[in-house]
Amino acid sequence: MTTTPMTTAAANGGPAARQQAPLLSVRNVVQEFETRRAGGIKGGIVHAVSNVSFDVLPGETVGVVGETGSGKSTLARSVIQAPPPKSGQVIFEGVDLCTLKGSKLKQARRQMQMVYQDPFGSLNPRWRIEDLVAEPMLGYRIGGGRESRDKRISELLDLVGLDPSIYRRRRPIELSGGQCQRVAIARAIALNPALIICDEAVSSLDVLIQAQVLNLFEKLRRELNLSYLFIAHDLSLVKQVSDRVAVMHLGQLAEIGPVESLYARPLHPYTAALLNSVPGFDPQTGQARKPVPLKGEPPSPLDPPSGCRFRTRCPRAQETCALVEPRLRERSPGHEVACHFPLDEPAPGSGEAPAAAAAVLSGEPASVPGADADRAAKPDGQPPTLTRTAP
């Protein structure tokens, strides 16, 4: 089985994509948290998300990648207002969610649902599957009477590949991790949302089950016209399922662009470092491609560096990087980067060609081995077929 790439105009960042009205528009979102020392004394401010802006178009999947602690999950929770961001706008279907309270916010959240990383932790272990799937409908008082609600539960379980006659009376402890995640997905689509936020939704599953769940996400996208904000660590996986990819570093967007463009020609040194950190194997030469680690320690979000937050580990950093915070700027259609010296330009003072600059961190082209997936859909239950790319 392979995950079929998204087919929206947004996939290539074309003019038609940019003319569409965004389903979700995040503008200058900031999320910070106070820390406390012993005795309740204020210890500092964690700059979890800083001035992040991006759009999600109808029917589009936007992947979000980055190191642990880069602010991906906090960004997702800020989008659904749990908790609301300190500043900025989250405009969903033309309404700024940051201005809504109480019942109005509850109704807006009906159109965006979340699938979490731990399928067992997101389900009440004492409830039966039919009660778990029915809970969103009862909470929003939809689905009609018991008979029509039972019919809807059966339809949802069947849609996610679970036989209602077998599974509806079971409890989560009687299911596998993949089956529990399917139940979580059934709960998420019970209210017919327009956007589903997947926060590491397949990270805890084995490769075979991951492939099945990803195919399910794609099937639901086609049948229900869903949009996804897909958060993951696996760069190969994100490439397979996304139309566009946003790279986060220490609470900020380093780069965002069409998936093919970003993976083939990364513009930010941090993006190149992420791609070069993935080990691989060249079937033609039989040689392993070793990951290239970044030098230095990641800065603390309690005290991020001035200017560019990646400058303390960036081999292209200059004095400007410490003085001026880079802003996202478009370098090619739909491809933006927040860097004073992007990789499509020669390194400062080196005179090297842009092509050589793209390999500055490793001496090799930045690509994810195994990320070029066979795009033809196969029966559910088979792992993705990957075409290895030689370094």
Residue 115 belongs to a domain with what CATH number? 3.40.50.300
Same domain, 292 and 183: no
The mean pLDDT of the chain is 84
How far, CA to CA in Å, does 323 sit from each of 180, 319, 377?
49, 7, 49
Per-residue confidence at 282, pLDDT binned at 50, 70, 90? confident
Place of tokens 């195994």: 370
Same domain, 114 and 225: yes
pLDDT at 42: 84
Instruction: Name the domain count of the chain.
Output: 2
Q: How far apart are CA 367 and CA 272, in angstroms?
A: 8
- Cβ count near 104 (within 10 Å): 12
Cβ contact 195:226 at 8 Å: yes
pTM assigned to the model: 0.82
Same domain, 304 and 189: no
Angle (deg, nearest 10), helices 146-159 and 177-189: 130
Same domain, 243 and 105: yes
Same domain, 68 and 181: yes
* Long-range contacts from 271-274, C-beta under 8 angstroms, 24+ separation: 271/247, 271/366, 272/343, 272/358, 272/359, 272/360, 272/361, 272/362, 272/366, 273/313, 273/361, 274/65, 274/66, 274/67, 274/235, 274/247
Angle (deg, nearest 10), helices 129-139 and 146-159: 120
Find the domain containing 204 and state its range. Answer: 58-79+99-247
Cβ contact 266:253 at 8 Å: no
Render pLDDT for 242-254 as a digit per residue (tens, 0 to 9): 999 999 999 999 9
Q: Summarize the confidence of residues 93-122 as an average pLDDT.
A: 92
Residue 7 within a domain: no
Residue 198 within a domain: yes
Amino acid residing at 200: E
Q: Summarize the confidence of residues 138-145 as an average pLDDT.
A: 88
How far, CA to CA in Å, does 99 sit from each of 79, 85, 108, 140, 322?
13, 11, 11, 21, 35
Same domain, 65 and 166: yes
Residue 4 is inside which H or E element, if any?
A: none
Same domain, 117 and 222: yes
- Which residues have CB under 8 Å from 319's CB, separation 6+? none
pLDDT at 142: 87
8-12, 78-82, 119-123, 331-335: range with lowest mean pLDDT: 8-12
Residue 338 within a domain: yes
- Cβ count near 163 (within 10 Å): 10
Residue 279 within a domain: yes
pLDDT at 374: 38
pLDDT at 1: 42
Residue 162 within a domain: yes
Same domain, 103 and 179: yes
Q: Summarize the confidence of residues 113-130 as an average pLDDT.
A: 91
Residue 46 is inside which H or E element, if any?
A: strand 42-56
Same domain, 240 and 122: yes
